[in-house]
Structures are given as C-alpha cells and as structure tokens.
Structure 1
Amino acid sequence: MMILDRLVAEDLEAFAVFAKHRNFTHAAGELHVSQPALHARVRKLEQTLGKQLYERQGRKLLLTATGDQLAAFANDSRARAAAFLDELDVLPPRPLVLAAGSGAYLYVIGEVLRRYLAREPGLRLMTTDSDATVTAIRDGSADFGVTALTIPPDDLDCEPLAQYPQVLAVRPGHRLADRRTVRLKDLHGEALVVPPKTRPHRQQLERSLLDAGVDWTVAVEAEGWNLLVHFVRLGVGPAVVNGFVRTPAAVRTIPVKDLPPIRYYLVTRRNRPADQRLDLLRELLQRHVLK
C-alpha cells in the first residue's frame, strides 16, 4: 500500500488543527475528541511517515521540518477540497486567512483591507509577529502574510511591498532635536525607550549599537510603536522607531543614517492553489502599498 493511501483524511485534518494550536488540549477541544485519541492520530502519522512531526522545547511544542511540510500539505488538501466543492456550489468558500503584525495593520495595509473587504467580506485576520507569521504560512494556518523581514526565507515566496527608514523619536527640547539626521554614535550615553528583549526590533538595535561601540541604557521597555512614542512624548527618553509611525506635534523624528530600512513583504507558500481572492488582494497591495 502506498504511503499516500495510508494518510487518512481525518488524521490529516486532526494534524492540521494540532499544528495550528501546537497544543493537544486546545486542538482536541476544537476537534471534539479526547486528547488520547488525538495523540494516537499524530503517532499514527509519525509511524506512517517514519518521521517525527513535533518536538518539545521546555513547555512548548514545536513542529519539525517534516511537521511543517505535513501541516502545509494537510491545509493545501483542505483548500483544494474546498475549492472543488465551491465550484459545485456544495459549500460556501473557505475564508482566506491573513497573518500580519499590529504595525502592518495600522500603517501599511489598513487602506488595502478596507478596499478589499468592501468587495470580499470573507477574510479572517490573525495578529502575529514576524516569526509567527512565517510559521503560519509554512504550516498552512494562514494563506498569506504581510510582515517585516530582515532576510526573506528561501522556502517561501516573499514579494517586496514597502520599506521605511528607522528614525529617532525625540522631544523638541532634546539635544538632538534640531539635527536633520543622526548616527548611532550620537546616542552614546542615552537612556532609550525600547521594545522588550524578545522583540526583533530590540535585538537588531542592540546588535547595531554594540557594533557601533555605543554605551546606552534602558529607560523603559514598551510593547508596540504607539507606546514607544507615548513614552517619548512624556519625556522618558528617545526611541528608535519605524518611519511609518505617526507622531504628535510634541515629538520629532530624525532619520538614523546608519540603520537599514525596515522592509515589508507579502509572504505566501510556493505552489499554493490558485485563488482569485488572493490575486485581488495582491493587486490591491501592489497598487496602494508598493513603494
């Protein structure tokens, strides 16, 4: 018997749900089965393929490379089946799923979503960071994503959409407020408003400051561009933020010359089934965001 013949549809469906949650309790709840039954289905798939599908790291369950591939296969199979049934008018079409971060929704694609939803109301949104967006595309739990990437992954299609400079946000009375541009060395001795250590922007900024030999301290850690700017306005300290961030009159933004721009991409899986809804969204993104 061929391996594909042994990949039962119900088991693939169960694994797709498990891959979405990476949690047996939540996945079993969505599937309305017991946890032991779900464990048995995943073990059956592992035995059929002869490959480990997930691994435990601390308290987290992470998909292996094979697990990512199987999740994408399972979700593609569901999408193809839904498209076939849609052609027969048997079931309503499955909504597209978009994964993007809060900054992308607020500043990059908000107008595009408004235009798209006026024509195609069936769109489900996921709010995810960059890593989670890429993972959701790989395992098929999202159809496409819009996110900032430092290095686009080789296994996904990543179409450039927009790029924004990194800027220093300061109060008008700050010693650098009258500068047209600044360099990282100008931040020597500053107490900066920064994201938490786990955020990609903080990690990149720390590496760049270290490479430039800049001695600095943390004024406060804050999550999200708006809160960073809010603390700047209060006088807590300056912050390096994405150039698309809208700032009040009490805050000035100055380009940081030796930091790279932040680049946003439309991310999809390769060889995914054709979908006119995705084509429409891609057209709107390229028309209203591409720059």
Structure 2
Amino acid sequence: MDRLVAEDLEAFAVFAAHRNFTHAAGELHVSQPALHTRIRKLEQRLGKALYTRHGRQLRLTETGEQLAAFANDTRRRAEAFLTTLDLAPRRPLVLAAGSGAYLYLLGDAIRRYVGKGHQLRLITTDAAATVAAIRDGSADVGVTALGIPPDDLECELLAQYPQVLVVRPSHRLAGRRSVRLKDLDGEALVVPPKTRPHRRALERALLDQGVRWSVAVEAEGWDLLVQFVRLGIGPAVVNGSVRTTSAVRTVPVKDLPPVRYYLITRRDRPDDQPLDALKRMLL
C-alpha cells in the first residue's frame, strides 16, 4: 500500500467516525476542501459512493461502511504491532452506548475497567448509530437495546427489563400488581418525541389494542419522563431499568415485550485482550 493510499484510508476512518467534514478536518488538521477532495478521489478510485446526505446528516453507504471497517482494522493491526515493539502507545478502546445504558447499566463495569488502568473512550449513540459504529469499526464494542439483533454482528444478551408504567401514588393504577395497555384508555401520557424508537413502538402497541390516549407532554430522556410523572403531568411507560424514588410507583405492563440490551462486537475482529477484559466485566 503506497503512502497516499494509507493517508487516504486514515482520513476516511476519521471522517467515518465523525460523519461530519468540519469535525473530521479539525482532527486531521486539514482544510475542509482538502478533505472533500481526498474522499472524492477515493470514491473515483472505487467507482462507488462512500456516503449520502440526508438533510444535514451524512450516512455511510454499504461500501463506505466496508471501507471504514477495513481502514480501522488496518490501523488497529498497525498499532498493535508497534505496541509489541514498544514503539507506540495503545489506542483506547471505544465503547458506544446510549445515555440510558450509561446511566443505569454500565457504570460499575466502566469504573472497574478504568480502575484497572485500561484506557476507554466513551461515545453516546442511539441504537442505529451504535450498530453502524460497530460495523464501520469506529467503535470496538457497543451496548444498546435491540428488537432483533443483526445477523452480521456478534450480539450477546447483556440484560433485559420489563416495560413499566410510572404513576404517582395517588393514581388509580398505582396499587395494581400489573397492568395491560387497555388500562391506559383515556389517559394523557408523558412520552418521548415522535422520532424516538420507544415512542413509535408504544404508539403501535396502543393502536393495536384500540387504546384512546393523548399526549400530556413530550420529553427527551427517561429521567425527565419520570420527573414529569412526579410533578403530576401524567403517567409514563418507561424501561424497567430506570431508577425511581418513593415519589412514584412502577407497575409492569404485561402486554409489552421486555427491553433487551445486547453487547455488540464484530464477528471478524481479531483477538484483543483489553476488549476481552471489558466484555467479561460488562457481561
């Protein structure tokens, strides 16, 4: 591989990690036009598009994901070889996960891993971005909730939680051992924004059951949903991993599926002792 190709691969790996020309150019210490030109030449050399635009977002094509994975694997192997010769420090592992996973699921494992002297870089992503980061190699390991795990990645069940209804102690359903969706008929619910996967899944389930409901308020993040319940705005359906206080009650919802969190890695990833150690702590 000649020097120009190696530099192009490094540039594309950084671009794939950011999916943003401004941020990638800043990390590479080059101008945005220079980075645009370098990636355009890569596309011309391969004869295929490496990314597409969706509004303000940039998404890698299938070829882009494959090239990013190759570039990241090449970089890791080079770093691992140089590390064995004491010529380069080891790159920290990259963990991709959502805010809920960091808040309620991963804290102890991360603390133990870092406490043993390992380096770890954390990035916050939603489920789709977590899967994409593992595929293109910009993250080494991911933790996210998935309905159906993708076949092309190694997905190990990490934990599962019921979906629960959060209500104030004075609410008519607070004393129940469990509820069904039909018990929510006529309620004004605290829900995430329409773009969030939990909102879409909940709306489909309520529609299937013929439940009439309305939006009390839209809120981003489990903690804020619970806070609005505490303030008396309305009940909310949340992931059972969410920690609550005595100011509210949680009641399992029987006809909603559990939320399953998976630990995700690439199947073709070479053996890596720090990664194995992190996986053991997470599992």
Compute the TM-score of the two structures, normalised by the length of structure 2: 0.97
Question: Which AA in structure 2 matches 1:280?
Answer: A
Identity %: 76
**1:53-64 alignment runs, 5 A limit:** 53-64=50-61
Instruction: From 177, 188, 191, give the equivalent of 2:188.
Output: 191
Indicate if the aligned counterparts of 1:6 and 1:48 stay in contact, CA closer than 8 A.
no
The one-letter code sitting in structure 2 at the alignment partner of 1:103 is G
Residue equivalent to 1:242? 239
**CA RMSD for the aligned pairs?**
1.4
How far did 1:128 drift? 1.3
Amino acid at match of 1:74: A
Q: Is the 8 A contact 2:189 2:214 kept in 1?
A: yes
**1:8 aligns to what SS in structure 2?**
helix
Give the match for residue 87 of structure 1: 84
In 2: Cα distance, 1:258 partner to 1:5 partner: 58
Superposition pairs for residues 1-291 of structure 1, below 5 Å?
Answer: 8-286=5-283
Conserved 8 A contact 2:118-2:274:
no
How many Å apart are 1:25 and its aligned residue? 2.2
1:289 matched residue in structure 2: none
**1:7–1:45 CA contact under 8 A, matched in 2:** no
Q: Following the alignment from structure 1 to structure 2, what is the Cα–Cα distance between the partners of residues 257 and 205?
A: 13
AA at the equivalent of 1:119? K
Report how far residue 60 of structure 1 moved: 2.1
What is the CA distance between 1:154 and its match in structure 2? 1.7
Following superposition, the deviation at residue 111 of structure 1 comes to 0.9
Q: Which amino acid aligns with 2:221?
A: G
For 1:190, the aligned partner's letter is: E
TM-score, structure 1 as length reference: 0.94
Which runs of 5 or more structure 1 residues have no equivalent in the other structure? 287-291
In the TM superposition, what is the alpha-carbon distance from 1:7 to its structure 2 partner?
7.6
Contact 2:190 2:235 in 1 (8 A): yes
Is the 1:19–1:139 Cα contact (8 Å) retained in structure 2? Answer: yes
Separation in 1, partners of 2:69, 2:4: 14
Cα 1:7/1:139, change in 2 over 3 Å: farther
- TM-superposed deviation, 1:120: 3.1
Deviates more, 1:61-70 or 1:34-43: 34-43
Is the CA contact (8 Å cut-off) linking 1:156 and 1:268 kept in structure 2? yes
The aligned length equals 283
SS of match in other structure, 1:173: coil
**Gap runs ≥5 in structure 2:** none
Query: By how many angstroms is 1:40 displaced?
Result: 1.9
**Offset of 1:26 from its aligned partner?**
2.0
Contact 1:7 1:48 in 2 (8 A): no
Q: Is the 8 A contact 1:138 1:269 kept in 2?
A: yes
